[in-house]
Structure 1
């Protein structure tokens, strides 16, 4: 069963992905996220980069749907995502696959690393609002070189989805949020 921290992390991301606020994730939510991200980057919708970003987001949706849609209704609830999170301690392969795809999406200039600016763009695409990410990026950039490599990003992404340590840098991959209260 997902811990309170895992539930909180998942709920924060679920809320950001549920663009139409209907309580379900659907393909249209992922299309809207891709459109927002494309717009934030200033890409023409028909450009190769915009099509690539949309394909990555659509691919992530297809993987999430396949892994999470327990009742087969074509939409995913928070509880269905949490069922997948429950199984990640035993098998992180679904997370590693999405980390690779998301790295491709975030690495806007294709240089094989994510800069602080590219990370900010990711968070602003999720939240739909300007966000100061300098402090969080500093936590994520463990070696202090100003970038996240594919390997670093995969570790952080996996820590976020499968981890249960509030002090782990990966806890903050999607930005800051309020931690659950500790039970005594």
Structure 2
């Protein structure tokens, strides 16, 4: 069962994605996120880049919708997301595969590393607003080389989604957090 800390992390990500604040995620929320991300990346509809980024976001919707409470078709609640999170520690290959898809989408120039600017665009797309990510990026850059490698990103992703350690660097993978608010 997800801890209070895990619930708090998920609640922050959930709130950023819930475009109308109704307490549920819908396919439209994921489409909005995909539209923000493709716009920030300058990937117009009809381009391969637009299709790829859109597929990453809508793939998340498909996964979550499949676990949703059938009493609320077409809507995913925080409890539905937590049901998935409860099993992620037992599914490291699935977490790594999701991290891989996300890494490929975030690595705009295909140089096999995520730059500070690429990371900022991801978080700004996620939040739907300009976000200062410099301090957060420094926390995530485990080897201090100025980029997130594929291995770093995968570890951070797993720490966020399957982890329960507030001190783990992956706690900040979705941007700046106020840990006092999570306590």
TM over 0.5, yes or no?
yes
2:174 is aligned with 1:177 = no
2:144 is aligned with 1:106 = no
Q: Which residue is 2:68 aligned to?
A: 69
3-state SS, counterpart of residue 111 of structure 2: coil
User: 4+ runs of 1 displaced by more than 3 Å?
Assistant: none
Distance apart, 1:142 and its partner CA: 0.6
Partner Cα separation in structure 1 for residue 35 and residue 128 of structure 2: 11
3-state SS, counterpart of residue 102 of structure 1: helix
TM-score (norm 1): 0.91
CA RMSD of aligned residues (A): 1.4
3-state SS, counterpart of residue 46 of structure 2: coil
1:1-184 correspondence runs (5 A)? 1-66=1-66, 68-71=67-70, 73-179=73-179, 180-181=182-183
Contact 2:85 2:161 in 1 (8 A): yes
17-26 or 134-143, which moves further after superposition?
17-26
3-state SS, counterpart of residue 165 of structure 2: coil
Contact 1:19 1:29 in 2 (8 A): yes
3-state SS, counterpart of residue 164 of structure 1: coil
3-state SS, counterpart of residue 148 of structure 2: strand
3-state SS, counterpart of residue 9 of structure 2: helix
166-175 or 99-108, which moves further after superposition?
99-108
Contact 1:156 1:173 in 2 (8 A): yes
Structure 2 gaps, min length 5:
none
3-state SS, counterpart of residue 148 of structure 1: strand
Distance apart, 1:140 and its partner CA: 0.4
Residues 103, 117 of structure 1: alpha-carbon distance in 2 compared, 3 angstrom cutoff: same
Partner Cα separation in structure 2 for residue 150 and residue 47 of structure 1: 25
Distance apart, 1:171 and its partner CA: 0.3
Contact 1:85 1:161 in 2 (8 A): yes
3-state SS, counterpart of residue 37 of structure 1: helix
